[in-house]
Structure 1
Amino acid sequence: MYATSYHRPSSVEDAARLLSGSEDAKYLAGGQTLIATMKQRLAEPSDLVDLRHVDSMKGIKVEGRRVTIGAATTHAEVAASAELRAACPAICDLASLIGDPHVRHMGTIGGSLANNDPAADYPAAVLGLGATLVTNQRQIAADDFFEGLFDTALEEGEIITAITFEAPDKAGYAKFANPASRFAMTGVFVAKAGGNVRVAVTGAGSEGVFRVSEMEAALSSQWSADVLSSISVDPSNLMADMHASAEYRANLIKVMARRAVMAA
């Protein structure tokens, strides 16, 4: 590590001001990626602006079918929320599968989404639910937010303050986890709201999280894991690494999608 200045703002406005007034500041959410890269000297911010103590960015609110999760809410809090589980148990289950207890008690949903790791779990949930990401400047639909590996629609200095969505009629998540990191080698989130079905995949795409239109159409016609058996997944745009080939991930998408539907 090296010398850096630490700031602990109490409001979103203070956080934005601190970032703009510093030479090379970075927002610190849960720090699960940033602190590790700093230790490796792959990132050297002059200042850290800690968002975890901004009260307006914390907490979970369910009003009818409308769900709002503060961006500074930890994975452990999402997993343990009885109110959220009553509205959308799938996102609670997803949060409970992230990393280990230390990661879940430090990492935040906003930090995960802003980082947009291609193997992270939350991008699949947010895209699968058709959620909206609320920032200190605007609202961004999930379909417009993810722009590639570690890349999002966020502008310089923009802060995710909350995530909102309508609770689906049914939803499920299943992932094939790396046994060491617990990151998704392939994870699939499915959600059904009325006649609309969304299927989002993480951990497999060469450009990050993506939707599978063929599966969405099949499940819209018949909500059953069996209808996915005949669908072929093209491996040409999937990741291949030491853990799994693109073809293996293509098969995992079908297997995880079936399990997600059954979980829902």
Structure 2
Amino acid sequence: MIPNKVDYVRADSVDDALSLMAQHGMDAKLLAGGHSLIPAMKLRLNAPGILIDIRKLSELRYIKNDGGRLIIGAGSTHHDIVTSELAGQAYHMLPEAADLIGDPQVRNMGTLGGSLAHADPAADWPGVMIAAHAHIHLKGPDGERTVAADDFFTGFYSTALQDNEILTAVSIPIPAAGTRSTYQKFMQPASRFAIVGVAAAASVKDGKIEHISVAVNGLADAAFRATNIEEALLGQAPTAANIEEAVKGTGSDVMVMADHFASEEYRLHLAQVYAKRALLAITQ
């Protein structure tokens, strides 16, 4: 289908984009990579009156280490993260997840900020951000604020981002030396979206798990922290038997999605399988 008529303007800065958003109100939509917005416009599921292009803003596209934190600008593309040594040094699961997104065209155009703001339940970044203890940086007319990734994803395509705010960056604490991480997913073969994805990070000391962080996406209406796994394994030996027992019941406390790709029962099965694979990969 052909989208409805829409005006277009390119913002000169984040502040300029905020000003344009205030001027046009609910009629405006931000355009970065466009890989979620443009298809929705073509299907006329979304019909903004004006697009505010922020793709060329250099202040949103960077990756840097700043005082023990990895800072990734919201305009950074998935490919930027795949090829970033800083990202890989902080968490291997960052470039690993980015490289599993879509195809080369999507990875070179789609942005981290766009994916997080869109909050597709099947997207990869929400689970990775939760597992990495990330904070989401937002800027609006009243100033700047940060929201923990655990609190940012509030439901089906829903986040803590307000209509008059722009997601500007993500900050991730650099983990302790020896921390290993991975992102594993069972993907829909055409879109490569996750039917179920598991992001996990852990460190082992003296044969016991000293730190562990696990998050799941694709299973429920929003990515979530798998506290059942974390609580079961913290301080325990990372044996196959302990991991097998820990992943049981994953997703039992959320409303599991079902669609033509996978039933509730199959998604729950996949969550346990991929949680086990991820944990074995980083602890053995």
Q: Shared topology, TM-score over 0.5?
A: yes
Matching residue of 1:138:
145
Normalised to the residue count of structure 2, the TM-score between the two structures is 0.88
Larger radius of gyration: 2
TM-score of the aligned structures, taking structure 1 as reference length? 0.94
- Distance (Å, rounded) in 1 between the aligned partners of 2:226 and 2:106: 29
Change (3 A) 1:225 1:258: farther
Q: Cα 1:76–1:158, aligned 2, differ >3 Å: closer, same or farther?
A: same
CA offsets per residue over residues 197-256 of structure 1, 9 Å max, x none? Answer: 221100111x21111111011231236362231223328621111111111111111111
State the partner residue of 1:87. Answer: 90
- In the other structure, the counterpart of 1:217 is 231
Partner of 1:155: 162
Code of the residue aligned with 1:208 in structure 2: it is A
Secondary structure at the counterpart of residue 234 of structure 2: helix
Count of matched residue positions in the alignment of Structure 1 and Structure 2? 263
1:159 aligned partner, one-letter code? I
**Other-structure match for 1:237:** 255
Q: Measure, in 1, the Cα distance between the counterparts of 2:138 and 2:65.
A: 19
Q: For the residues of structure 2 that align with 1:173 and 1:221, how far apart are their CA atoms?
A: 22
The aligned residue for residue 109 of structure 1 is 112
CA distance in 1, matches of 2:89, 2:36: 31
Q: How does 1:1-264 map to 2 (within 5 A)?
A: 1-22=3-24, 24-63=27-66, 65-136=68-139, 137-168=144-175, 169-192=179-202, 195-205=210-220, 207-222=221-236, 224=238, 226=240, 227-230=242-245, 231-233=248-250, 234=252, 237-264=255-282
Q: Work out the CA distance in 2 between the residues paired with 1:153 and 1:176.
A: 27
State the identity %: 42
Q: Distance in 1 between matches of 2:19 and 2:66?
A: 32
**In 1, Cα distance between the equivalents of 2:230 and 2:190?**
31
**What amino acid is the match of 2:150?**
D
Shift of 1:5: 1.4
Q: Secondary structure at the match of 2:79?
A: helix
Q: Which amino acid in structure 2 is aligned with residue 5 of structure 1?
A: D
Taking structure 1 as reference, are residues 187 and 35 closer, same or farther at Cα in structure 2, changes over 3 Å only?
A: same
Tell me the amino acid that sits aligned with residue 125 of structure 1.
Answer: V
Question: Runs of 5+ in structure 1 lacking a partner?
Answer: none
Q: Out of 154-163 and 232-241, give the one that drifted further.
A: 232-241
What are the Cα deviations for residues 118-171 of structure 1, in whole angstroms up to 9, with x where unaligned?
Answer: 000000011111110011121111121110010001111211100001123221
Q: Which runs of 5+ in 2 are unaligned?
A: 205-209
- CA displacement at 1:83 relative to structure 2: 2.2
**Alignment-mate amino acid for residue 130 of structure 2:** L
Check the 8 A contact 2:153/2:160 in 1, yes or no: yes
Mark the CA change 1:101 to 1:64 in structure 2 (over 3 Å): closer, same or farther. same
Q: Is the 8 A contact 1:225 1:258 kept in 2?
A: no
Q: Distance in 1 between matches of 2:22 and 2:269?
A: 46
Q: Distance in 1 between matches of 2:85 and 2:146?
A: 27
- Helix, strand or coil: the match of 1:21? helix
